[in-house]
Structure 1
């Protein structure tokens, strides 16, 4: 079931924070900072600012107990991915899926297994 609220627009940096929270929620602010620190050289203040923006946008929820802030996603990862894909399709390809697929398939290095999986997906769509 799709949410009736529009998906928040999430920046590339905010996606990094969301991926960590989606994978490990609920998380304290310190846990998020530590997890991001393993893969990025961001200042902890930067991570906390990104988290605050995500709360303002309605992508993250937050509970406060004393000095501890705990974050959890308010939107599902699959819904955000679907929304971003639709936005890209509209903005870059005028909503036409075929040109996007042709562009993607001509530029990407696909393995035989990838090609077989794509064939199966397309065959399932025929039914």
Structure 2
């Protein structure tokens, strides 16, 4: 799986929520400033090339849909973050978030306990 740009992620979040859609519908999913039609169409072409989305042709329209789930991409992102920024150590990641979010010892222990339980499932 390849890393997505911010623009690609924005389009994917909309597409994951919609399940499938045409460019015009994806444009409506932007909450703030709506990009140009051609911009979204180009992003979708790049995502197709990266094998993140595909489309089916319905008449003259391309109906785009995700090839990976939001959960699969989130898992990939977390593994990438863990490997590249915390040396693969969940404990370092937890310590970083604990410090950054001013967690108390009980919250940190609960986080580590949950992480241990999840990784053994």
TMscore range, shorter length? 0.7 to 0.9
What is the TM-score when the length of structure 1 is the normalising length?
0.77
Structure 1 stretches of 4+ moved >4 Å: none
Find the counterpart in structure 1 of residue 62 from structure 2: 69
Aligned partners of 2:61, 2:87: CA distance in 1, in Å? 45
Q: Secondary structure at the match of 1:75?
A: coil
Q: Is the contact made by 2:28 and 2:34 (CA closer than 8 Å) also made in structure 1? A: no
**What are the superposed Cα offsets for residues 29-62 of structure 1, whole Å, 9 maximum, x if unpaired?**
11012212x3334222211111111111111111
Whole-Å separation in 1 of the counterparts to 2:24 and 2:111: 43
Give the 5 Å matches for 1:39-50.
39-50=32-43
Comparing both chains, which one has the higher relative contact order based on Cα–Cα distances under 8 Å and sequence gaps of 6 or more? 1
Shift of 1:97: 1.3
Residue of structure 1 aligned with 2:13, choices 13, 19, 22: 19
Of 61, 71, 74, 1:78 maps to: 71
Q: How many residues align?
A: 116
From the superposition, tell whether residues 109 and 64 of structure 1 become closer, same or farther in structure 2 (CA, over 3 Å).
Answer: farther
Q: 3-state SS of the aligned residue for 1:70?
A: strand
Taking structure 2 as the reference length, what is the TM-score of the superposition? 0.81
Inter-CA distance 109–60: structure 2 relative to 1 (3 Å threshold)? farther
Unpaired segments of 5 or more residues in structure 1?
A: 1-6
Alignment RMSD, CA only? 2.6
Q: Aligned runs of 1:45-124 on 2, under 5 Å?
A: 45-108=38-101, 115=107, 119=110, 122=113
